[in-house]
A = this chain, B = another copy of it.
Amino acid sequence: MTEPTKDFEALDARMRETWDAILGQSPLIHTLKGGCDDRRLYALYLIETFQYTRHNAQNQALVGVRLTPGHTTYLQFCLRHAAEEAGHEQMALHDLKAIGVDPAPVTALAPMPSTEVLIAYLYWISIQGNPVQRLGYSYWAENSYHYIGPVLKAIQTQMKLEPKQMTFFVEHATIDTRHAEQVKQMIARGARSEQDWQDIGRVLEISLRLTGNILTDVQREYERLQAGAPSPYAFLQVLAGSR
Contact = CB atoms under 8 A, between A and B. Distances in A.
A76 B65 contact: no
B80 A206 contact: no
A123 to B, nearest CB: 6
Nearest to A116: B206
A72 interface: yes
A72 B86 contact: yes
A57 B123 CA distance: 19
A226 interface: no
Given A61-B61, A79-B57, A124-B124, A107 B69 contact: yes
A58 interface: yes
A86 B66 CA distance: 13
Nearest to A83: B79
Contact of A72 (B67, B90, B123): B90
A119 interface: yes
Contacts of A206: 113, 116-117
Contacts of A57: 64, 75, 79
4 closest Cβ pairs, A-B complex: A120-B124, A79-B83, A72-B87, A120-B121
Given A57-B79, A120-B123, 13 more contacts: A54-B69, A61-B61, A61-B64, A61-B65, A61-B79, A61-B82, A62-B65, A65-B65, A69-B89, A76-B87, A82-B83, A117-B121, A123-B127
